Amino acid sequence: MLERFKPRAEDSERVDVDSLREVVQAIFEKMGTSVDDAAEAADVLVNTDLRGVETHGVSNMLRAYVNQFTSHKVNPRPNMKIERESPGTAVINGDLGLGLILGRRAMEMAMEKAKTVGVGIVTMNNSGHLGAVGHFSMIAAQNDMVGMCATAAGTGVLPTFAAEPRFGTNPISIAAPAKNEPPLLFDAATSQIAGNKFNLARRVGSDLLPGWIADKDGTPIMEETPVPEEGWYGQLLPMGGTREMGSHKGYGMMLMVEVLGAFLSGSVPGMFDTEDFESGYKHYFAAYNISAFTDPDAFKEKMDRMLKMLRETRPAKGHDRVLYPGLSEAEETADRMANGVPLHKEVIEWFDGMVGELGVPELKKA
């Protein structure tokens, strides 16, 4: 994640990982979820923060989920149902449960199918927010499979040349295991940046960079600009920013996520909705069983060789090293497991408020 989104050391404090997990689980239980579902939600959020993906960790998303539960926009006790199934595929109705909680079950179903037929694909309709899609791809990678996950919802991103938003940020992730190197983990919005980064930018006082958003007429803003007071949704540009910089590629990838997530789950894209999020979130989970294609050990050894070669590539002037997707996340995880998760003081204040409001335990400092 870009440094401009990270809180300054003087504005943040590290909290104990186990304490963070305990408090997050307690908050979900107070929202009416089962103990097991609360533990699953805490696992997704805390692991996301451990990887340094604050956009989708507790800093941004937990209070959003609390608001969704208290306003009855999501179901704390969903009855997930299989609507259609074949040996290699399934379609699930999420019953308005958070994808954050239901996602592991969907990916595990995909993996079971992949063990039988080589590839398993599960789609989910009528769901709530999924959280970091990379978390679910990693479940497959941790089981000697290649995992893919994507999610579609909302209408806050402009197609190339458009003045009206038609897509959500529609992120895609792919994870693949290696033998000794940290696994490959690609996780990215198909918009210029993830929408939640605007919350981070506002919190830490950073401006938006050129080509991230457009004005109300759809013209890309090509200089640094403050986060709009009225919010960002509806002005965000597709990955690439402008046509000359490749925004048609981000636009095309957004369309792919709608096909995979919305249409293959039997739902519709958000642009069809007459009310915000009327059709809910739509998710796509895929697991590729490596042993159905090649020898898993040979696959992981070749992954090691490729990732090591990338890591040891001579860096360009002004840069310390070359990274591959997943390397910095693995390094962040090791550091935060040992030294605690840094949270902005405003986030810690919110947690302190939850102690009195919900009666959950206090966060312990690292």
pTM above 0.85, yes or no: yes
> Does residue 203 have a pLDDT over 90?
no
Q: What structural domains does the chain harbor?
A: 78-329 (3.30.1370.60)
Q: How far is CA 358 from CA 23, 43, 350, in A?
A: 11, 20, 12
Instruction: Report how far residue 211's alpha carbon sits from residue 213's, in angstroms, rounded to the nearest whole number.
Output: 6
| pLDDT tens digits, one per residue of 240-262 | 999 999 999 999 999 999 999 99
Q: How far is CA 323 from CA 35, 255, 326, 328, 331, in A?
A: 38, 28, 8, 7, 11
> Does residue 108 have a pLDDT over 70?
yes
Instruction: Report how far residue 94's alpha carbon sits from residue 71's, in angstroms, rounded to the nearest whole number.
Output: 18
Buried b / exposed e across 83-109, counting CB within 10 Å, b at 16+? Answer: eeeeeebbbbbbbbbbbbbbbbbbbbb
Q: Pairing relation of β-strands 89-93 and 119-127?
A: parallel
Greatest Cα-to-Cα distance within the chain, rounded to the nearest angstrom: 55
Instruction: Report how far residue 291's alpha carbon sits from residue 289's, in angstroms, rounded to the nearest whole number.
Output: 6
Q: Which pLDDT value is given to residue 200?
A: 81
Instruction: Report how far residue 123's alpha carbon sits from residue 88's, in angstroms, rounded to the nearest whole number.
Output: 12
> Does residue 89 have a pLDDT over 80?
yes
> Does residue 233 have a pLDDT over 80?
no
**Which is higher by pLDDT, 231 or 279?**
279
Rounded to a whole number of angstroms, the distance between the first and last alpha carbons of the chain is 23
Q: Which pLDDT value is given to residue 217?
A: 93
Nearest in space to 44 (alpha carbons), one of 93, 124, 89, 107: 107
| pLDDT tens digits, one per residue of 271-323 | 999 988 899 999 999 999 999 999 999 999 999 999 999 999 999 999 999 99
